[in-house]
Structure formats: C-alpha cells, structure tokens
Structure 1
C-alpha cells in the first residue's frame, strides 16, 4: 500500500514539474496568444496590447514556477 502511494506521489510530482517547465519555457508564446485573442475580441490600442502580453507572460511564468517548485519538492521529499 505504501509503495503504491509513493509511486502515485512521484508520478504526480513529475507531472506537475513537467507542466511547470512547459509553462516557463513557452510563457512568451502562450501570453502572446492569449493577448492576440483578447485584442481580436475587444480591439484596443497597441499599447494596451503590449501590457496585456507582458501581464499574460508573467502569469504563465509565475504559474509555471509554482508548479515546477511543487513538483520538484514532491519528487525530492517523497
């Protein structure tokens, strides 16, 4: 029973770490894609678009860092 829980915990930690790394490495592309969709929907000025790209990129960077940290600590301490 204990081995099953440990195996599941290691898989969950690895999955979270991989998702976190994907968010970190592709944060610029993901942020720009969300901002382009937002711009097409609301049609604002380019300066607002630039701030939206930066905001979305930072959101993905922070989320990816948190997920990677949780995944890494889960794998290390499990």
Structure 2
C-alpha cells in the first residue's frame, strides 16, 4: 500500500474508534432518549416494560460502541505498524 492510502486508512480508523468511544460513553443518554421516544409513541407503558426497553437500548449502544472501538483500534494499530514498516523499507 502507498503512504497516502495508509494515511487515509489511519484517519478512517481513528474516526471509527472515536465514534465507538462516543457510543460507549453516551450509551445511557442515547438509550434513555430512545426509550422515552418509544414511551411517547406508545402513549404509556408498564414500568417494568419501560425499564426493559431502556436497558435493551443501552445494551445495543454498548455493543455497537464496543465493536466499533475494537475494530477501529486494531485497524489503527495495524495501519500504523504498516506505515512504519514501509517507511523503514524506503529508508534502506
């Protein structure tokens, strides 16, 4: 791969990592907001059902954020390693 492509991949993977972190840290806010929207659309619900919906939305954001963070972090590390190895091969 060329240096330009590797730099683009590093930027893309850092963006995915940041999105994953945002989803992880704000999962409670996002999940509660979607749960309140669900409750508003239904016009009301049992407390236990509302709690279950909010918990499931929060878990969805936690899983999605964890997956994006993990993939982004691994891709960033791999791309940076490849960039360093191509730079060293150009120096030799």
- Give the alignment's TM-score, normalised by structure 2: 0.82
- The 3-state SS of whatever aligns with 2:45 is coil
Q: CA offsets, 1:31-78, max 9 Å, x none? A: 000000000001211111100110000000000000000100010011
The 2-side partners of 1:2 and 1:46 are apart by 56
Matching of residues 11-50 of structure 1 within 5 Å: 11-42=11-42, 43-50=44-51
**Higher Cα radius of gyration:** 2
**Structure 2: which 5+ residue stretches go unaligned?**
80-92
Question: Per-residue deviation at 1:26?
Answer: 0.4
**RMSD of aligned Cα (Å):** 1.0
In the TM superposition, structure 1's runs of 4+ consecutive aligned residues that sit over 4 Å from their partners are none
Aligned residues: 78
Residue 85 of structure 2 corresponds to none
